[in-house]
Structure 1
Amino acid sequence: MKIKLLCKTPKTITFQIINENCFYLDEETEIYVNGEKELVTSKNINTIYNLIPDKEYIIFVKNSEGESNKLKVKTEFAAFILDIREFGAVGDGKTVNTFAIQTAILSAPENSIIEIRDGNYLTGPVLLKSNITINIAGNARLTALKEREMYPILPASINKADRTFYLGSWEGEPAACFASLFTGVSVNNVNITGEGTIDGNSDRETWWKDAKIKRISWRPRTIFLTDCSNINIVGINIENSPSWTLHPVFSSNLGFFDMKIRNPKDSPNTDGIDPESCKNVSIIGVKFSVGDDCIAIKSGKGKIGREIGIPSENINIENCHMEFGHGGVVIGSEMSGGIKNVNIKNCLFENTDRGLRIKTRRGRGGIIDGIHAENIVMDKVLTPFVINEFYYCDSDGKTEYVWNKDKLEITEETPVIKNITFKNMVCKNSEVCAGFMYGLPERKIERVVLENLTIDFAEDPRRDIPAMMDFIDSQSRGGFYFNNIKDLEIKNLTVKNAEGEEIIRNNVE
């Protein structure tokens, strides 16, 4: 049995118990810190909290298999520790603490910790700055104000003659939006850690009411980062987000570890983590239960996305549990800047509408290249595998240009999908369809490999359409449907108790 270090901050150490299980261990395992039993875990990814900065710790785990190797880890240095209560914050759930928290952040010397503990702190949006750690203790909660008048607005962009700095964002396009509870603009080396909770405090009377209507400005996220680097978020619980929960844009070297993200199943657009035009992103050990996609990887929409041209690349997703959501891991639909080199493994998907999902359409352009997923277990997922190049959402999604199945002219608006590999997966109690992959006739999906996949169906499956596109019939217990694919490779694919054909191929080379 082996363990390895994933992330260290001044207050936390996150490590992985190495195995091929999806999120959970086979048995409860004891964690020891400096020779003392710290806790018992059932997860592959674990964090030790409330550590002393700049101190060496020795960590190992033990169960019936024996004892693991010992990790010797020194926590990161901290210059000072600041308590927000010393700046006037009151954790009574009533006092507005925005100024106190913001003052603590701005006052913190480089490499300091801002401590939030012992209470429920009501606050509006605050801006992050570089080289700090914000630690939210397990007995602390940050609760967002409901009144949108208390939220400043981020303009879509800041402009001068030779340069545009994109600031606000909404669904893949530059747009004015409300600042988020934590907003980071061009900040580096920031940690947000702890066992505490960030509550977006949204409901049907506030941010989720008339969600598609712009009221003053577009909805905030819970955490929004733009042009940032070296950001780690560890252990935090986030709930009731106004829209996308965690949204980094144009950022790099990001780590999201051992978190819980919970939004009601019917809350609109409450995706979990949506990296957009980001590079070198790790999402490891996160548990999701949300009202939209659990993870959606994006890179801008349409002409502006292609002009900016910053892809999302080198995205690593491991040991996550997607409990509810529209999709487990989703590519698109805003992908006009390109998405490449995405690796997903050792994840558990339960009760999501789709499992692994790529969605785009004519008008997007962009290249999706290198999506690799393996060792995933799905249970009660309606359609485990979807590639849909006729995605119909948004105002232009119902046009003939999008739904037309004829071969149209190839232009810069024609998306490219290639090099997709799904292997070593078991999908239990599926309902609608084993898999649905429909490319464009003018530019077929290039190379799909399906290897060692087993799919079976629930006894009483739901009937629905397998993908969000026009002019397809609802179904249940459907097999795999392939259309407009160049180079389809299938090895050891098993579909059990399907109704009708297990595999249908049209226009497949």
Structure 2
Amino acid sequence: MIQPSIIARSARTAALCLPGPGALYWLCEKAAWRLSSPDDDRDLQQGVADTAVTLLHGLHPARRYVFEAEGFLPVVFQTAPCAGLVDAADFGLVPDIAPDDLDGAVANVKALADAIATVPSGGTLYLGRGLWTAFPITLKGQMTLHLAEGATLRAPSGRTGWPILASRDHCGRMLGSWEGLPAACFAAPVHAASAENLVIEGRGALDGSGDRGDWWSWPKETRDSARRPRGLHLISCRDVTLLGFTIRNAPSWTIHPQGCERLTAAGLTIIAPPDSPNTDGFNPESCRDVTITGVRFSVGDDCIAVKAGKRGPNGEDDHLMETRNVRVSHCLMERGHGGLVIGSEMSGGVHDVCVEDCEMIGTDRGLRLKTRRGRGGSITNIAMCRVRLDGVETALSANAHYHCDADGHDPWVQSREPAAVSSATPVIDGVAIEDVEIRGLAHAAGVFLGLPEAPIRNISIRRLQIVSHDPDAIATPPIMADRVRPMRHEAIVAERAEIDCDDPALLSAASISLSFE
């Protein structure tokens, strides 16, 4: 039998993985489970797991537990200690105020700030059942924010008096950002900077009120010289754990870890309407050692977009840092522009990213790499293993002519003639695809378009299976580059890309580009 693994544990919550054979987001067969303690003869909890990642709530601090599930070996673990529990309700929070009651939202954020200041190092702030509207709150390190079942922490609908995060701190480090560059932005409804050992957990929800305010009506603009806020913004934090909660309706990117190290997200639900602009689900930028597991996405843009900053228009690069070691597993991506996307802001370099045992349903693309001349940096060692793509229009793509930014359609970006190689030349080297199943394919199984001066290197494809095609598919350019021909039901098409495929029949001899005549 298989041993379950402990993904993360706090004082009151634990996330476990039941890696049954063939399990993606869902288990192939449900598994009854029981939770007991070596210090207590009774069964403390019992239930039935239907997902590979199972969350246990309502645990006690510093206590030993035994988890047993049908078909799996038992696993023993101990919860973390808690230095003290602070109830936010004791600080004068007012529930159920109207979303446009800005005075009430200001009073509530003051109450929450007072409560956070009272939480001892290693303690917990408890937010109980109810609808709590407050202006953006700042979390500190060495604490847990516990969102009880039925608790919703909601941002107000108006932004008058909303705090603005500067583009840089007093040391010159990037704080606020927009599309990979330092920029002032409205503070996220929940945010933290330079926090260590921070936990956000529970069965409750964070609601950014993007559907109530005017945020989604000016997606690429500024107001009061600031960009839109994220839903949850973590800046230069270390050892962060996100467990079990729902986050929805972010004004822009939903969860944005920026310059963080050692971050684990397990069992989250991330939601935004399909037509909401730039509401990516989870965007680790310039981060190291990130684990995203058992997360369910349904958003208006990319489900996961891995980034590493963008070189400025005049070559500015002092804000750039690499992203390395991102592991995505047992996730469900429903809708969205892409399942797992890298770039296009990748100038600091993105390395060692793996997505495995996931399911993507109805996303525009599955695995998507995007960059362009001027970015510089490199994307290396990317892997997709044991992933099912259902109703995904283009399963795999890597595009080095991505037409982003104001100059994205300029000839120097889109030319298929070789350009001089410089520090602004992006590199893609090392993409491994194994055991991927495609159902309802619309446009192409794979499209790889490299630069003539820097072809895409070392693409390996093993055991890729196209099970079915979408009979209603309309021929459409499968990647966002100029002069790309429409495609329908094609296999793997490549230009200026080196592909080693164990099934040569999948490799098309057709070109990607239209004639430049």
State the partner residue of 2:26.
24
Structure with more of its chain in strand, by fraction: 1
Cα displacement (A) at 1:26: 1.2
Cα displacement (A) at 1:492: 3.2
Q: Deviations over 1:315-373 (max 9, x none)?
A: 01000000110000000000000000111100000000010000000010001110011
Q: Deviations over 1:475-509 (max 9, x none)?
A: 221221111024x21013665xxxxx8454789xx
Q: Deviations over 1:225-272 (max 9, x none)?
A: 111100001001011110000001111000010000000000000000
SS of 2:496's partner is: strand
**Is residue 285 of structure 1 aligned with residue 286 of structure 2?**
no
In structure 2, distance between residues paired with 1:506 and 1:28: 44
Q: Deviations over 1:192-224 (max 9, x none)?
A: 000111111112751101211111110000110
**Is residue 52 of structure 1 aligned with residue 52 of structure 2?**
no
In structure 1, distance between residues paired with 2:220 and 2:319: 25
Structure 2 residue runs without a partner (length 5+): 37-42, 99-103
**Aligned partner letter, 1:55:** R
**Conserved? CA contact 1:24–1:44, under 8 Å:** yes
**Conserved? CA contact 1:262–1:289, under 8 Å:** yes
**Is residue 248 of structure 1 aligned with residue 281 of structure 2?**
no
Identity of aligned residues (%): 33
**Is residue 92 of structure 1 aligned with residue 96 of structure 2?**
yes
Alignment equivalent of 1:342, drawn from 350, 353, 368: 353
Q: Indicate how the Cα distance of structure 1 residues 372 and 178 shifts in structure 2: closer, same or farther if over 3 A, else same.
A: same
Q: Indicate how the Cα distance of structure 1 residues 447 and 506 shifts in structure 2: closer, same or farther if over 3 A, else same.
A: farther
State the partner residue of 1:202.
210
**Conserved? CA contact 1:239–1:261, under 8 Å:** yes
**Aligned partner letter, 2:78:** K
Q: Deviations over 1:430-462 (max 9, x none)?
A: 101121100000011111001100123112113
Alignment equivalent of 1:79, drawn from 71, 79, 83: 83
**Aligned partner letter, 1:462:** I
**Is residue 490 of structure 1 aligned with residue 492 of structure 2?**
no
**Is residue 477 of structure 1 aligned with residue 482 of structure 2?**
no
Structure 1 residue runs without a partner (length 5+): 496-500
SS of 1:104's partner is: helix
**Is residue 187 of structure 1 aligned with residue 198 of structure 2?**
no
Alignment equivalent of 1:135, drawn from 142, 146, 164: 146
State the partner residue of 1:498.
none
In structure 1, distance between residues paired with 2:73 and 2:366: 35
State the partner residue of 1:429.
440
Q: TM-score scaled to structure 2, two decimals? A: 0.93
**Conserved? CA contact 1:30–1:37, under 8 Å:** no
In structure 2, distance between residues paired with 1:155 and 1:326: 30
State the partner residue of 2:273.
264
Q: How many residues align?
A: 494
State the partner residue of 2:377.
366
Q: How does 1:358-397 map to 2 (within 5 A)?
A: 358-397=369-408
State the partner residue of 2:50.
42
Cα displacement (A) at 1:158: 2.5
State the partner residue of 1:117.
128
In structure 2, distance between residues paired with 1:25 and 1:305: 47
In structure 1, distance between residues paired with 2:121 and 2:77: 22
In structure 1, distance between residues paired with 2:123 and 2:47: 28
State the partner residue of 1:33.
35
Alignment equivalent of 2:365, drawn from 354, 371, 378: 354
Q: Deviations over 1:64-122 (max 9, x none)?
A: xx4x2221111111011011100111222444221111211111111111001120000
Alignment equivalent of 1:155, drawn from 137, 145, 166: 166
Q: Indicate how the Cα distance of structure 1 residues 111 and 37 shifts in structure 2: closer, same or farther if over 3 A, else same.
A: closer
**Aligned partner letter, 1:211:** P
Alignment equivalent of 1:70, drawn from 71, 74, 84: 74
In structure 2, distance between residues paired with 1:212 and 1:411: 30
SS of 1:265's partner is: coil
State the partner residue of 1:274.
283
Q: Indicate how the Cα distance of structure 1 residues 240 and 440 shifts in structure 2: closer, same or farther if over 3 A, else same.
A: same
**Conserved? CA contact 1:136–1:197, under 8 Å:** yes
In structure 1, distance between residues paired with 2:62 and 2:234: 27
**Aligned partner letter, 1:479:** A
Q: How does 1:234-245 map to 2 (within 5 A)?
A: 234-245=243-254
State the partner residue of 2:304.
295
In structure 1, distance between residues paired with 2:212 and 2:159: 14
SS of 2:173's partner is: strand
Q: Indicate how the Cα distance of structure 1 residues 103 and 205 shifts in structure 2: closer, same or farther if over 3 A, else same.
A: closer
State the partner residue of 1:407.
418
**Aligned partner letter, 1:183:** H
In structure 2, distance between residues paired with 1:494 and 1:236: 45
State the partner residue of 2:40.
none
In structure 2, distance between residues paired with 1:165 and 1:234: 28
**Conserved? CA contact 1:479–1:503, under 8 Å:** no
Q: Indicate how the Cα distance of structure 1 residues 75 and 46 shifts in structure 2: closer, same or farther if over 3 A, else same.
A: same
**Is residue 459 of structure 1 aligned with residue 471 of structure 2?**
yes
Q: TM-score scaled to structure 1, two decimals? A: 0.94
**Conserved? CA contact 1:453–1:493, under 8 Å:** no
**Aligned partner letter, 1:87:** F
**Conserved? CA contact 1:306–1:366, under 8 Å:** no
**Aligned partner letter, 1:120:** L
Cα displacement (A) at 1:36: 4.9
Q: Is 23-32 or 227-236 further displaced after alignment?
A: 23-32
In structure 1, distance between residues paired with 2:233 and 2:323: 16
**Aligned partner letter, 1:281:** V
**Aligned partner letter, 2:13:** T
SS of 1:302's partner is: coil
